[in-house]
Amino acid sequence: MVRKHQHFHDTLPQVENEFPPSAALEGAVSDALASAGGLDATDVTVTADGSTITLAGNVFQLEEVARAEEVARSVSGVTEVRNSLRSTMPAPQPRGI
């Protein structure tokens, strides 16, 4: 039996990561948001570009927008958070006298 080195047209094979680092970071931030108190992240989308996280989607209360950013910043490996979340809570209406 003869064994040859793994070459394809004189090019060494390249091993690709099944989960690139950005996907792992997205997963870590998504997990942190899902388990964080004071936040319903059901409609939040997390996207990683390197170590920068973008949060998009909707939350109910305005306080959840800030809470989601706080949680995302606390995840190891995140250096910047771009927060594009919107609150779906209706604005309070002034009461007439």
pLDDT digits (tens, 9 = 90+) for 51-74: 999 999 999 999 999 999 999 999
State how far the Cα of 97 lies from the Cα of 79, in Å rounded to an integer.
49
pLDDT digits (tens, 9 = 90+) for 28-38: 999 999 999 99
pLDDT digits (tens, 9 = 90+) for 39-50: 999 999 999 998
Q: Would you say domain 21-87 falls under CATH 3.30.1340? A: yes
Query: How many CA atoms are closer than 13 Å to the CA of 74, on its beta-carbon side?
Result: 12
Per-residue pLDDT band for 96 (boundaries 50, 70, 90) equals low
The domain locations on the chain are 21-87
